[in-house]
Amino acid sequence: MLGGLDELIQRARQRGMATGLLAQDEGVMIAAAATLIHPRSSMTAPVVIFVRPLSAPMLRRLGEDRGTDGLSFRAEARTSIWRPLGSQASLSLVAINGLPRAAYIRAGVVARSLLPVLAFLASILAAPAVSAQRFEPTRRWLRPVDDLGVVLMERPLLPLAALSLDPERAWLERLGFALFRSPDLFGEMARRAGLSCEVCHIGGGANRRFFVEGASIKPGTFDVTSSVFEGGIDDGRFNPLTIPGLGGAAQTAPFGHRGEFKDLAAVTRHVIVEEFGGVEPDRQAVAALVAHMERLKPPDNRLLDDLGRLSNQASAAARAGEALFHRVFPGSSTLSCAACHTPTSHFGDGRRHDVGTGGLIDTPSLRRGNLLPPFMHDGRFDRLDQVVAYFDSHFGLDLDPGDRANLIAYLEAVDGGGAVEPVALIGDLDVVDELATAAAGAIERRALSVLSPVIGVVRRELGQIHERFFGEAQGLAEARQTLIHLSAGFREAERHGEAGNWLLAGEWFRRTRDELGAARSVLEAVAPRSLYDPELLKRALAARLR
């Protein structure tokens, strides 16, 4: 099920052709889309879309298999759904042999790819039962060459500090955990695309696979001063920046690559409003996001003591690199690597410096799990040896190959990042439970401004779990229906809260959460036959390419 035409368009631009189901006020429609010109993977390529309402019998057959009650989408008003390309496109509605067509065609472009899409759409309409069993994981934020299997099988592991013992503070931290995953904070284009803080800063770390055609120069970078997501600070230049990890960031003010923000609240508001076109967030939402980010810790590192010194467990090469890190540069009485990346100050100094890369740059901490390519604030280097070679040349350090290797060993020891954990049902259900706790707090406090975003995230996570229970093996269809039922229950709680019926909202929420707890053992029993199994996931991904 698609979240709107924009998602269909994005998939078509990534693959050349895409299909899916769309929700509208009148019901559910099946849609197909194709790009008109090459390259297929362009963020601005024109797209032609065909849509057709589903008949009641066809809808029932699809519903029995995958469910169509709005698990991972929300119906969008007709007045807002037709604007994926802004001023780049015009909309025309015509009919070809009785088939409604919504065609987004940039002026002067001829539709060259219509016949394959028509044939594909016709095949889907002729055989809905088979099409409903296609595994179609979304390739958002990836290059076409990236390994989708790796993304779906593992995620970064970054520790969180324990929740506060104060109940109100603990709820605020949980609320921030939920809002960090919510696209509803951002403007319309980013929201429809499913973008959230979590997408770029996955698990609080840096998503170095993130890629948007036309806004990224390489994976792990993004031009925050572009108009891709209708932000308010388009500077007319292509200048992507590296996505930073946020582990321990709360202790390393100022914030921003150029250190222009004095506190987390200021940079949070800037990202939401100026970079991604969101409305002005209320104080509670900003405070919650800050509270969550203050819980994000640097990667656990047994090689460092409390003063940032290497322990005896570090390698000889790393210890030799530590000595070089503290060695004063030639021609200076005070300057060294450690003078700016001070071990006792989270390997930063809270200041800005010009190191020859384009003006003053905030000193980045070396303890945020950022030691992944690309490197430097603009992602100019792909390898750590290139970074060391640059500073060797810039500061005239006269390092020999052994010195460079030792410095690299030291930097790797200090970073301590790179840990991953397998994606598993238990972990995903734990996330849902944490999000549900935040939603329960919103209902208890009658916090209307955050109710919809938080329950929306709960339902989105249930939708992600739903996708894993793909196939016809025993118990999978029942698992899908269970997840659909849970999503619908949380939506009812949200609906009653939005209407001001808080008692009824609470009743619906408690009932649904109890059902979620009861369903956990059922889902866990079926999980070995689902796409949580790595081998089954590999087979499903391979089948998509045939």
State the DSSP string of 263-320.
Answer: SHHHHHHHIIIIIT-PPPPPHHHHHHHHHHHHHBPPPP-TTB-TTS-B-TTS-HHHHH
Would you say the CATH fold of 316-420 matches that of 141-297?
yes
> CB-based contacts of 154: which residues, under 8 Å, 6+ apart?
420, 421, 422, 423
CATH number attached to the domain at 316-420? 1.10.760.10
What distances in angstroms separate CA 327 from CA 403, 466, 485, 540, one per listed residue?
12, 55, 63, 54
Query: What does the pLDDT read at residue 189?
Result: 83
Query: What does the pLDDT read at residue 40?
Result: 39
Orientation angle between helical segments 502-526 and 476-498, nearest 10 degrees: 160
The token pair that represents 86 in the structure block: 């802004």
Pick from 233, 247, 69, 81: nearest CA to 157? 247
**What's the predicted TM-score (pTM) here?**
0.77
Any idea which residue has 């019926």 for tokens?
501
What distances in angstroms separate CA 422 from CA 156, 211, 425, 489, one per listed residue?
9, 22, 10, 29
Query: What does the pLDDT read at residue 54?
Result: 61
Any idea which residue has 């290497």 for tokens?
310
Q: Which fold has domain 141-297?
A: Cytochrome Bc1 Complex; Chain D, domain 2 (1.10.760)
List, run by run, the mean pLDDT of 10-residue segments along the chain (546 residues): 66 67 64 56 57 58 41 27 29 29 32 39 36 56 79 88 98 98 92 91 92 91 86 83 94 93 96 93 97 95 96 97 98 96 96 93 89 93 97 97 98 89 96 98 98 96 94 94 95 96 98 97 97 94 76
The token pair that represents 119 in the structure block: 């044939």
Task: Kindly report the length of the chain.
Answer: 546
CB-CB contact of 372 with 419 (8 Å): no
Phi/psi at 432 (nearest 5 deg)? -60, -40
Phi/psi at 291 (nearest 5 deg)? -60, -40
CA–CA separation, 409 and 314 (whole Å):
9
In the chain, domain spans: 5-134, 141-297, 316-420, 423-546
